[in-house]
C-alpha cells in the first residue's frame, strides 16, 4: 500500500522543482541562440537534474534513504525520461508544427512539457527512489524547512 502525499511533501517537491526549473529555463534561454533549441534543452536539462537530485535528497525527502543499489542511476533515469517528455513537446511544436518563435519554444518545453514531466518526476522519485512512510519525515514547513534530522545549526 502506498502512502498519499502530504501537503508538506508536495510543497517541498514544488520548492525543489522550482529551483531546478529556474536553472532549466535560464540556461535554455541563454543557450538557445548559440547552440540551437534541442542542444540548449539537453544542456539545461542536465544542469536541472543535478539541482533536483540535491534538493530531493536533502530537502524534499531528507528522512528517506534512497532504495536499491544505485538510487542515483534510477533518479537520473526518471529525470531523463521526464526531460524526454519536455524535449518531445519542444520537438513536436518546433519541428513538426512549425511554431519556431522563442515564445512557442518556451510554452511547449517549459510550460506544457514541464507540466507533464513534473507528474512523471513526482511519481518516479517518490515511488522508485525515495519511498517510505510519511511518518519517517521530520515535520517542517515547505518553505522554511530544514536539511533533515541530521542537520543541527547549533552543532559545531
Average the pLDDT over 70-81 and give the result. 89
The 8-class DSSP code of residue 147 comes to S
Is the pTM higher than 0.75?
no
pLDDT value at residue 5: 60
Helical H segments across the chain, by residue range: 7-35, 37-55, 71-91, 102-107, 113-124
Q: How confident is the model at residue 102 (pLDDT cuts 50, 70, 90)?
A: confident
Amino acid at each position: 500500500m502506498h502512502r498519499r502525499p502530504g501537503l508538506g511533501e508536495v510543497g517541498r517537491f514544488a520548492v525543489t522543482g522550482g529551483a531546478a526549473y529556474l536553472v532549466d529555463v535560464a540556461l535554455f534561454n541563454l543557450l538557445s541562440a548559440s547552440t540551437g533549441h534541442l542542444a540548449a534543452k539537453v544542456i539545461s536539462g542536465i544542469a536541472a537534474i543535478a539541482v533536483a537530485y540535491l534538493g530531493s535528497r536533502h530537502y524534499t525527502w531528507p528522512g528517506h534513504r534512497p532504495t536499491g543499489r544505485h538510487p542515483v542511476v534510477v533518479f537520473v533515469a526518471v529525470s531523463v525520461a521526464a526531460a524526454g517528455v519536455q524535449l518531445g513537446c519542444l520537438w513536436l511544436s518546433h519541428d513538426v508544427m512549425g511554431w519556431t518563435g522563442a515564445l512557442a519554444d518556451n510554452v511547449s518545453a517549459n510550460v506544457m512539457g514541464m507540466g507533464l514531466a513534473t507528474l512523471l518526476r513526482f511519481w518516479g522519485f517518490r515511488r522508485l527512489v525515495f519511498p517510505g512512510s510519511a511518518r519517517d519525515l521530520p515535520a517542517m514547513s515547505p518553505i522554511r524547512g530544514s536539511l533533515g534530522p541530521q542537520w543541527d545549526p547549533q552543532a559545531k
